[in-house]
Structure 1
Amino acid sequence: MSIKKDVFGKTQDGGKAHLYTLKNKAGMTAVFSDYGATIVKLLVPDAKGKLEDIVLGYDNLEQYMKNSPGFGSFIGRHANRIGNASFAINGKTYELEKNDGNNNLHSGSKSFNKFIYDAEYYEDVDSSTIEFSRLSPDMEQGFPGNLDVTVTYTLTDDNELVIEYLAVSDKDTVVNFTNHSYFNLSGHASGSALNHKVWINANQFTPTDDNLIPTGEIADVEGTPMDFRTAKTIGRDIDADYKPLKQGNGYDHNYVLNHETTDVELVAELIDETSGRKMEVFTDTPGMQFYTGNFISGEAGKDGVTYNSRDGVCFETQFYPNACNTPNFPSSIIKAEQEYEYVTIYKFTTI
């Protein structure tokens, strides 16, 4: 295992950003930045051993400082949408930025992907780890509580990227972290991902209104285009005449994961028969937003590539959207001094 640190650039306020490159014995390489605790590159071998960068992203810091699609982003304090950009805790209402119509998306225009983190890194016999941390002060983004935040990325010799989220607040607050990487297992520059096959271990999903806020209903996927319990290509049903798909312009939906235990479990797979790459998703979060990059349009990315709609797909492990305002959903509200601790693993193999 090896870890290398390089300068990435300076932010507008003079902060220094760096790149950290982790490489395992199989050649898999992961590149992260302390700007946003961002995943910048993931080079993964195909069935013939050829390495390819399989996440969408940018070449320079300036682009990551904008990054409206959220490429590679660590999202917090609250990933996904909060209805009416407000929530109440202990009888007090907190108002957030309305950056998605009347709603709050990914905590506002300055999510956790727009801050510089303290970084520590270390190597083990069969893995290497980088840990990003910072203190999110009370009322940052409109959320109560001083929140100690840590996101840890570990690259193992088994071609696993292990993401561990940890947070503790000194006040009752809302926490819902995720990673917003867009995957294309044929390579980030290969265009549409609609020929990839997806399997999701979920019998149900959470339907939304036209503004993509969950209605509170938990609906069965049985007999609908939302059903991925048997692997199928993303493109097979994505343009079906089905209300949830029309609302999201494709898949942009939270799945209610079939957890047998409270441990980390296999919840989804992404398969690319062209390259032979396969990605397995493991997590202990209750939900996962499956998003097919429907709103990417002419985005200038790495290596001079222009990304467009559905060129990459996200598997955002999380609490359900608007859970803080929906009593029948697993709650995204944590008590003061209660640990928020969840794990997601992206494991890469070949078919």
Structure 2
Amino acid sequence: MDIIVNRINGIWSEFLLMSDHGMQVGIMDYGGIVTKMLVPDKYGRSENVVLGYENYQAYEQNPFYFGALIGRVAGRIANSQFTIDGQTYQLKANEGTNHLHSANHGFHQAIWQAEPFQTQDQAGVRLQHTSPAGEGGYPGTVSIQVTYTLDNTNRLTIDYDAVTDQTTPLALTNHTYFNLSGNLRDTVARHHVQMAASHFAELDKELIPTGKWLNVFGTPFDFLNGRFLEDGLLSNHPQVKLVGRGYDHYFLFDVDGNENEIIVTEPISGRKLTLTTTQPGVVLYSGNGLESGVPLRNGISQKHLGLCLETQAHSAALNHTNFPGILLTPEKKYQQQTVYQFGLRYVKTAHIFQCQDVRDIG
């Protein structure tokens, strides 16, 4: 295991976590952003499997939220307001009349305090941030720690921990776009996804959940036995068309436990991602809103180039009681975990990377 620290324009730091078996993960203190993720394919070639900007400075705005930590609340809050104990809190609208991903006070634009750590079998970075009461319109001072850990089984773990001094909404996630084809060789249309989720949240024309849960049976939203994403991208299902032909929907896992699982495979590269999480559900987003022509690491952006697996409880809980709750109180501690285990559908030979240096970028 190893860690390289890259200095970016004298302002940010990027921590490159490296396993002994060909996997590398880049994480910035700015936004807690995953900048790259190199994973071996069935031939042992390590290639990038996430979307990121070619120019680091593009992360300063990051309208697509590439790789970012999202909070205080991931997702859309209807009419940019919510009520707790009879008091209404007004937030900034940044998508029509709605509030998306905490607008310009989101954690994706914060510089986190970073502490790298390393053992024989792990390399990681602990990120800490305090959001003061009233920031972005939210009540309470919230202290957050997010820990990224890469181990020698090519497993990346994200641990989320937080406390508050006043009841407040909190729904954290990571917004990495995955593309297992490697180096953006293809769209995610031929990615095969399987997960145990029998229901998904119906959306209205503003992509806000209506409060109704729809059964996946007989629809392109049925991933119970697995299906290729192109089944949805090519579908005329009203919910597919509503979001720009694709997926941008919240799926509720069938089991309320610590081993909720999503399996994603890409047949040509042979790469396999097994995601497990303590979260109650996931927003499956197929990159429907990605613009064409943005310079990325390894290529140019286009629609459906990446797949987000935003494990979370949903902001719709602020308006609908049939969603998992997102209110954090001073008596409780927020603790969630999502694990990304990379492997292959076939036997591989590991490549070993060894590198120790510090570089300046930009």
Shorter-chain TM-score: which interval? Answer: over 0.9
| 1:323 aligned residue (317, 322, 326) | 317
CA–CA distance in structure 1, aligned partners of residues 92 and 318 of structure 2:
16
Which whole-Å deviations, capped at 9, do the CAs of 1:52-99 have from their partners, x for residues lacking one? Answer: 010000133310001111100100000011111110112110111111
Are the counterparts in 1 of residues 184 and 298 from structure 2 also a CA contact under 8 Å?
no
Match of 1:338 in 2: 332
Runs of 4+ in 1 over 4 A off after TM superposition: none
| Aligned counterpart for 2:272 among listed residues 268, 273, 278 | 278
CA shift at 1:337, angstroms?
A: 4.1
Q: Which has the higher contact order (CA 8 A, sep 6+)?
A: 2
Could you tell me whether the CA contact under 8 Å between 1:119 and 1:132 is conserved in 2? Answer: yes
**Residues 170, 336 of structure 1: 8 Å contact kept:** yes
Deviation at 1:188, TM superposition (A): 3.8
1:57 is aligned to 52
What's the CA shift for 1:141? 1.4
Give 1:320 shift. Answer: 2.1
Give 2:163's aligned amino acid: V
Distance 1:50 1:266, change over 3 A: farther
Q: 1:313 aligns with which of 307, 327, 336?
A: 307
Query: Which of 74, 93, 96 is equivalent to 2:91?
Result: 96
Q: Does 1:298 align with 2:304?
A: no
Q: d(CA) in 1 for partners of 2:298 and 2:214? A: 42
Q: Which residue of 1 aligns with 2:356?
A: none
Q: Is contact 2:198-2:224 (8 Å) kept?
A: yes
Match in the other structure for 1:253: 249
Encode CA deviations 1:112-154: one digit per residue, 9 max, x unaligned: 1101010011112211121111111111111111100111100
Match of 1:9 in 2: 9
SS at match of 1:217: strand
Residue 251 of structure 2 aligns to which amino acid in structure 1? Y
Name the aligned partner's letter for residue 8 of structure 2: F
Measure the CA separation in 2 of the matches of 1:303 and 1:331: 37
CA contact (8 A) 2:261 2:275 kept: yes
Provide the alpha-carbon RMSD of the alignment: 1.3
Partner of 1:216, secondary structure, is strand
Identity within the alignment, %: 36
Contact residue 74 and residue 314 of structure 2 kept, 8 A: no
**TM-score of the two chains, using structure 1 as the length reference:** 0.95
Unaligned runs of 5+ in 2: 346-362
1:111 matched to 2:106: yes
Alignment of 1:1-351 (within 5 A): 1-10=1-10, 16-249=11-244, 250-259=246-255, 261-263=256-258, 265-303=259-297, 305-351=299-345
SS in structure 1 of the partner of residue 6 of structure 2: strand
For the Cα contact (< 8 Å) 1:172–1:334, is it kept in 2? Answer: yes
Question: For the residues of structure 2 that align with 1:59 and 1:337, how far apart are their CA atoms?
Answer: 43
Contact 1:4 1:21 in 2 (8 A): yes
CA contact (8 A) 1:174 1:333 kept: yes
1:30 Cα offset (Å):
0.6
Aligned pairs, how many?
A: 344
SS of aligned partner of 2:241? helix
Paired AA for residue 247 in structure 2: Y
Structure 1 residue 304: deviation in Å?
A: 6.2
Secondary structure of 1:294's match? coil
Whether the 8 Å CA contact 1:191–1:307 is kept in 2: the answer is: no
Partner of 1:141: helix, strand, or coil? helix
Match of 1:13 in 2: none
Does the 8 A contact of 1:180 with 1:315 survive in 2? yes
